[in-house]
Amino acid sequence: MFFHVKELQYKAKPTQPDPVYAKKLQEVLGGQYGEISVMMQYLFQGWNCRGEQKYRDMLLDIGTEEIGHVEMLATMIAQLLDKAPVEEQEQAAQDPVIKSIMGGMNPQHAIVNGLGASPNDSTGYPWTARYTISSGNLLADFRANLNAETQGRLQVVRLYEMTDDPGVRDMLSFLIARDTMHQNQWAAAIEELQEKEGFVVPSTFNKEYEKQEVSHQFLDFSKGTESKEGRWASGPSIDGQGEFSYIEEPKATGQAPILKPAPGYIHGTPKTN
C-alpha cells in the first residue's frame, strides 16, 4: 500500500522558465538510466524478492524514494514550461536568434502534454520496461543497480553543468547526493552478498559446469599487448578460485562450421554443385 504526501521530498522550483532545458531534463526522467527506470527496477526487485526480508525492505525503501524523485523531476519540468513563450515562437520568423532558441524546445510538451512532463527521454523516445532488470538473483540485480546509479549520477552531473538556474541546480544537487548514497548502498550490499555467495554469479562451486582451464585466462584478441599490464592478466583471480594468465596469441580450437542444406519447404538458397 502506498500513500502520497503532498509535499515533495525536496524542493523543485526553477528561477525562471526554460522550455529548452525542460527537454534536456526529460533524459533523467524517462531515459534508460532515468528515475522511472530505477523506480520500476527497485520496486519489482523488491516485490519479487524471495531472499532475506532485509533486502526486500531495503529495495522497497529505495524504490519508493525513487517515486518521489520522479515527482520532483515532473514538477520541475512543468515549471520550466510555465509561461512557455508562444508569442516568441510566432515572432521567430522575424527574429533568427529566437528561432534558434525555440528550435530546441520539445513541441510535444505543448501539443501532447499540455506544458507537462512525459515518460519519454530527451529525444522523445518512450520509456520502456526493457530498461529494467529483475532476475531473482540479488547479487546480479544489485550489480545492475550499481551501474544504473553510476550512469544516472553521471547524467545528472552533466545536466548540472548545462544550466545556471540556481533553483534547478539546487534540486539536481540533492539528486546527485542521493545517487552518491545509492552507489555506496549497492556497493555495500554487493560486498555483503559476495561474502556469503562468492564473486561469480550464479553462486555455485560445482566446477564440472566450467571448462576450468579457461576460467581465468585473459585472451589477447586485439593488436597490441598493453592489456597485459592490467590486474586481470596475472596474479590471484578476484574470485579467489585461480590465477589469472595472459594468452598473447589465442588459437582457435573449434571446428570450421559447414551447415547442412535446409529442407525444401524452407526455400533457402539452393545448394550449388
> Would you say 182 is a known binding-site residue?
yes
Cell numbers that stand for 190 in this block: 554487493
Report the alpha-carbon distance of residue 239 to residue 213 in Å, rounded: 15
Q: Is 220 annotated as a binding residue?
A: no
Determine if residue 197 is labeled as part of a ligand binding site.
no
Please tell me whether 224 is known to bind a ligand. yes
Report yes or no: 127 and 120 within 8 Å, Cβ to Cβ. Answer: yes
Give the integer Cα–Cα distance in Å for 56 and 62.
10
Q: Could you tell me which residues come within 8 angstroms of residue 39 by beta carbon, excluding any fewer than 6 positions away? A: 63, 66, 67, 69, 70
Asked whether residue 82 is marked as a ligand-binding residue, the answer is: no
CA–CA separation, 209 vs 206, rounded Å? Answer: 6
- In a 10 Å sphere around its CB, with 0-12 CB exposed, 13-18 middle and 19+ buried, how is residue 97 labelled? exposed
Q: Binding site annotation covers 61?
A: yes
Is residue 109 annotated as involved in ligand binding?
Answer: no
What is the full DSSP assignment across 100-140? HHHTTS-HHHHHTTSS---SB-TTSPBP-GGG----S-HHH
Cα separation, 28 vs 4, whole angstroms: 22
Q: Are 127 and 30 in contact (CB under 8 A)?
A: yes
Residue 105: all three cell numbers together: 524546445
Q: Output the known binding site for Ca(2+).
A: 57, 61, 222, 224
Q: Output the known binding site for Mn(2+).
A: 35, 66, 69, 149, 182
Q: Output the known binding site.
A: 35, 57, 61, 66, 69, 149, 182, 222, 224
